[in-house]
């Protein structure tokens, strides 16, 4: 059986990746510094601080995973773009890869970001040839980690891929982000909308993002691979879809149409994801929106049962 270790397993993406790996027949070891909010039957959970190098080496020495999915990073909304902890996560991820390979690890897949690209360039962004020129500490740190790992992999024979995630949503997302913010208002009967409704972004449901990571892990693809839908959707259209799915289109309001300093479009080319892995989205955007609204309704019923 393929033995995989997942870091950041208790996070928004990590919980879905753990479930997807389990369904794919992996022996799954889930690692996070926090106690998991829920546990999957058949998954081994490990509470480890990834900044504690001795603890990381001890864990890998005991488990000896042949596959590793590295998702752990700083993701606190509003601060992660500029947080100095990005530097700590670069160091921790590199050390993790080094120990993993030293102990016989074979396949390492890391989580990158569309923020590694030059957003002043032309969209869609290609993982083959679009320039990388990040404008934030988060993007710079992710890109630096990718470049060092790519060189390390070539030097040591490690099989290595880097999934550059674009825009994702779904149940469990941080409450201050667009989709949960809009839904919390709509389901409470309050007006909701967004600034800059004309901005185009590439959205994919978190369950499909997780399935893409598993497909990437199972593939022979090397280097950066975009994880996205390959389709542009404006923020305004997404909010309208949320309003309709929630049964409250009358509450959708838009307060501004100026894009400010935001790029007009951030959309991925997904040719590598489609040609080099088995991944195909399970949900259309419309289905993903309906699923997300239902998940939020169910969560509200748990919190405030009638």
Of 110, 119, 105, 114, nearest in space to 139 by CA: 114
Distance CA 215, CA 89 (A): 25
Q: Three-class SS of residue 150? A: helix
pLDDT at res. 161: 98
Paired sense of beta strands 200-201 and 233-234, if any: antiparallel
Longest dimension (CA), the chain: 60
Residue located via tokens 């999957």: 40
pLDDT value at residue 38: 78
Using the 8-state DSSP alphabet, how is residue 115 labeled? G
Q: Which residues contact 186 (CB under 8 A, 6 or more apart)?
A: 192, 242, 243, 246, 248, 251, 252
Residue 14 is given by DSSP the state H
Q: What is the pLDDT of residue 258?
A: 58
- pLDDT, position 303: 62
Beta carbons within 8 Å of 41's beta carbon, 6+ residues apart:
none
Nearest to 194 by CA among 212, 171, 167, 217: 167
pLDDT of residue 78: 85
| DSSP label at residue 126 | P
Domains present along the chain, CATH in parentheses: 3-168+203-227 (3.40.50.720), 174-201+232-266+283-303 (3.90.25.10)
CB atoms within 10 A of CB 83: 19
* pLDDT value of residue 257: 58
What average pLDDT values come out for the chain (306 residues) when binned by 10 residues?
Answer: 94 96 97 85 96 98 98 93 98 98 98 97 94 97 98 98 98 91 96 92 98 98 98 97 97 75 94 97 98 92 61
- Cα separation, 76 vs 88, in Å, equals 15
Give the single-character DSSP code of 4: E
The answer to whether residues 8 and 73 touch, using CB atoms and an 8 Å cutoff, is: yes
pTM of the model: 0.96
Count other Cβ atoms within 10 Å, centred on residue 40.
17
In this predicted structure, what is the pLDDT of residue 137? 98
**Which strand ranges, in their side-by-side order, compose the sheet holding 265-266?**
233-234, 200-201, 265-266
**Beta carbons of 69 and 217 less than 8 angstroms apart:** yes
């Amino acid at each position: 059986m393929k033995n995989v270790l997942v870091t950041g397993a208790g996070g928004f993406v990590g919980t879905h990746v753990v479930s997807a790996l389990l369904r794919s027949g992996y022996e799954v070891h889930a690692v996070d510094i926090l106690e998991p909010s829920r546990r999957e039957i058949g998954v081994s959970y490990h509470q480890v601080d990834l900044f504690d190098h001795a603890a990381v080496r001890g864990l890998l020495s005991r488990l000896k995973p042949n596959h590793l999915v590295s998702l752990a990073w700083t993701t606190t909304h509003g601060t992660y773009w500029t947080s100095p902890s990005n530097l700590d996560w670069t160091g921790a991820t590199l050390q993790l890869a080094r120990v993993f390979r030293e102990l016989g690890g074979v396949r390492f897949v890391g989580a990158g970001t569309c923020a590694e690209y030059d957003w002043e360039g032309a969209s869609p962004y290609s993982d083959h040839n679009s320039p990388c020129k990040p404008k934030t500490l988060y993007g710079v740190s992710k890109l630096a980690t990718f470049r060092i790992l790519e060189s390390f992999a070539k030097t040591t024979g490690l099989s290595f891929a880097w999934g550059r995630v674009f825009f994702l949503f779904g149940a469990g997302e941080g409450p201050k982000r667009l989709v949960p913010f809009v839904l919390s208002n709509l389901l409470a009967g309050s007006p909701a909308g967004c600034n800059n409704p004309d901005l185009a972004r590439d959205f994919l449901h978190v369950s499909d993002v997780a399935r893409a990571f598993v497909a990437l892990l199972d593939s022979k693809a090397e280097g950066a691979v975009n994880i996205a839908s390959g389709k542009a959707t404006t923020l305004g259209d997404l909010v309208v879809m949320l309003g309709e799915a929630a049964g409250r289109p009358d509450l959708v309001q838009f307060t501004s149409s100026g894009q400010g300093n935001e790029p007009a479009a951030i959309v991925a080319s997904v040719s590598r994801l489609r040609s080099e892995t088995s991944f195909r989205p399970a949900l259309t955007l419309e289905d993903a929106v309906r699923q997300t609204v239902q998940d939020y309704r169910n969560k509200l019923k748990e919190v405030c049962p009638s």
